[in-house]
Amino acid sequence: MVSASIAGTQDPDHPAMAALLTDASSPARTRALKELMQDMGSGPAARPLDDLVIRTAAPGETVSGIFKTRTSLSGAFETPDGIVAVPVADLRNAVRMDGGYTITVQSDFLTASAAPMLRPVPRPVVPAVFGPAEEKRENALLAQAKEEGLKAAASLHAFWSAPPSLVCRDIEAAIRQEGGDAAQAFTGMKAGGRHAALGKKIEKELRHNPTFARELGKVQKDMAAYGDSRGKAFAFGAAHGRETEILTDLAGTDREIARHASRTPTSEPGRALIQTLTGQPALTATTDPADRPSLSSAQTPGPG
């Protein structure tokens, strides 16, 4: 009301007051707005509504903005002029754009619809400035990752150079039976798998062979430390648009670890230790990082 009054004072032909009267006099639009304001004013993402301009879109109007929420009657978009509600049936016609959507209103607020849910579209990622200070920080993170990587590779090498249990020989035999596919061998160690008996042996060794448990635990600890430091280096690089440089710098360390890691199970039989790094770029780093989603985009849902 306040916004429409100000707009009408500044420009007698401004459509704001007419839109307000339409919203107030149309039962369907009133229901849609009431439902929308109840939704926006409650829950963990609730926000004060007194200072917001909230209205419905007119037939034929094109609305462009950031998707905020969906109710049974409408979808809400934040535009430069406030919150605009469009009929829920029109959500299926939303066209994605940078940072939001564009919709041309074709329906009315008469009935609910099983229209698809729209989710926020991530704004384009603009790499942060990379200057001398950032280069120094990146070098420190890379040095830390390489140091942790050397420890992990050494632990793996020591574990297999002087196996603390004959079960290690059986693990290698199982991998050979699978044609060198370590992941397939570890999967077979689960209950009901081809190598389930070996899985039980590993569990027994972990309980009764302190040396085996201790050395395998050290391998896992060192691998986890490398995964953590490697993740920090990659996250910093991603924030500055330098994923390729980070992967290239760590490729040698990754290959050395991967050379040993595929033979080593975790304390949970059937899982390769290499899965410690799940969720990060591939250890081998042989593919173009552009073919993989960035950390930010991987965590952000799209429409649908």
Tell me: the pLDDT tens digits for 95-140? 888 778 999 998 887 654 445 555 666 666 666 788 899 999 999 9
pLDDT at 301: 29
For residue 141, the surrounding DSSP H or E stretch is: helix 132-161
Separation CA 236–CA 231 (nearest Å)? 9
**Is beta strand 82-87 parallel, antiparallel or unpaired with respect to 54-56?**
parallel
CATH of 2-104, one of 3.90.1150.10, 2.40.50.140, 3.90.1640.20, 3.30.470.10: 2.40.50.140
The whole model's pTM is what? 0.46
How many other C-beta atoms are found inside a 10 Å radius of the C-beta of residue 233? 25
- Per the CB < 8 A criterion, the answer to whether 228 and 278 are in contact is no
- Per the CB < 8 A criterion, the answer to whether 153 and 256 are in contact is yes
Annotated domain spans of the chain: 2-104, 132-296
pLDDT at 263: 63
Q: Residue 147 — pLDDT band, cuts 50, 70, 90? A: very high
What percent of the chain has a predicted confidence (pLDDT) above 70? 78
pLDDT at 269: 33
Find the range with the poorest average confidence among 15-19, 28-32, 64-68, 288-292. Answer: 288-292
For residue 97, the SS3 value is strand
User: How do residues 263-304 score in pLDDT, each as one tens digit?
Assistant: 665 443 333 444 433 333 343 333 333 333 332 222 322 232
